[in-house]
Chain A
Amino acid sequence: MISVKNLKKSFGTNEVLKDISLEVSPQEVVVVIGPSGSGKSTFIRCLNMLETINGGHVIVDGKDVTDKKTNINEVRTEVGMVFQHFNLFPHKTILENITLAPIHVRGLKKAEAEKKAKVLLEKVGLSEKASAYPDSLSGGQKQRVAIARALAMEPKVMLFDEPTSALDPEMVGEVLEVMKQLAKDGMTMIVVTHEMGFAREVGDRVIFMDNGYIVEENEPKALFDAPQHERTKAFLSKVL
């Protein structure tokens, strides 16, 4: 589904991703962990070209996004993204937030888009908020809307960049619950998170990144219970 080969990314002279390779199969849930500044966000943003890549290849659903001939907008419709700070459109209602892209990018009729949006709102438990504006929602509700908005494009992959890091602790659960359900429904997911419980329970594979490299990857149980590398051990001892 996603194939990353020798990905390199620098900001000026700061080489943030040094040599990243990763294969993600359909329906797989890959959790990315690592210390702050290790390049997790940069990595996930490279997957849908929110960052320009300096070297290597990223192939999403058979399309090389690093190839100039690839229509990046088309690829992005297949890749949903959920941000740490939600990035809902404040001038649109919740329903409009969800239908905007399906109408203008997919070319859906308004009625059809709204029907689908309502199903998604139901799924994330926010049916009654359809006509509210984002500002009136709690953080947890905003993030669930953001997930519904991404799902409305019917993506093949979902990327999450620390979806619960900006939330008050009591709201983390409701968002993780939606993500768990999504994983259960067979969505391919790449999730950057500090929620080790989620990684362990939902992840098929956990990637530990440090200093621009993938230091270690394994099944959650193996990685958490028997880390092989010193840096993984050091990191885990701090967060677990």
Chain B
Amino acid sequence: MDFRFDIIADYMPFFLKGMGITIGVSLAGVIVGLLLGLVIALGKMSSNRWIQLPFNIYINIFRGTPLLVQLLIIHFGIVPLFMSPSNPIVSLVIGLSLNAAAYIAEIFRAGIQSIDKGQMEAARSLGMTRAQAMKLVILPQAVKRVIPPLGNEFIVLLKESSLGSVLAAPELMYWGRAAAGQYIRVWEPYITVALIYLVLTLSLTYLMNYVERRMSTDDQR
């Protein structure tokens, strides 16, 4: 089988541009997902059932339906209500953020609930409000425990951003499909795209390991 490196060379500028967008939308998705996820996690942990309810529903919907379906609904159903024509990158970022928020909320909740109950009790017995105890005692300890699963979530998000190609968002996978379509070739574009994803996710794994090690030597715990 002849392997046509000229196709790869031809498309490399687009692959690199696509990679930039892949990184950008994933990063945006994770950042918005973190903020939203924290709010959802705290909401779900409310002692009031009626406050919990909407957050529970949110988490169940976004974790229980395919991201592809969510993206299609957002891009063709919801974003057009605010924006015409709807921009696929905007839709992709919204979809990834909302989806990641549901998973990140569960990561935060598990991290917060893994902290010994005695910590909250000690903080409250000193007169701290629940919010103070969360901010000063619980969250700083939970952060260390949620770093590894958050790293995983980031990697998942990076790979799932490839679904943006269905919306014609010009991320990495989109250009892979474009090259495949133009030259009617399978191996060259898809192998290249796969390798670029692999480099991204492995770098991210390495980075997360580094952060984890730094945090565990930062202080005693």
Which residues does A use to contact B, with CB under 8 Å? 48, 50, 73-74, 76-77, 79-81, 83, 85, 87-91, 100-101, 104-106, 133-136, 146, 149-150, 153
Contact = CB atoms under 8 A, between A and B. Distances in A.
B75 to A, nearest CB: 43
Contact of A105 (B122, B128, B137, B220): B128
Name the 8 nearest CB pairs between A and B, nearest first. A77-B127, A87-B122, A101-B126, A133-B220, A87-B118, A81-B125, A76-B127, A105-B127
B177 interface: no
A11 to B, nearest CB: 15
Interface of B: 116, 118-119, 121-129, 132, 136-137, 140-141, 219-221
Q: Is the interface of A mostly helix, strand, loop or mixed?
A: mixed
B221 A133 contact: yes
Contacts of B140: 91
Contacts of B220: 90, 133-136
A100 B220 CA distance: 18
Given A91-B219, A105-B132, A153 B126 contact: yes
B126 A149 contact: yes
B137 A73 contact: no
B128 A83 contact: no
A229 B151 CA distance: 62
A48 B128 CA distance: 13
A40 B186 CA distance: 73
Given A104-B128, A149-B126, A89 B119 contact: yes
Contacts of A135: 220-221
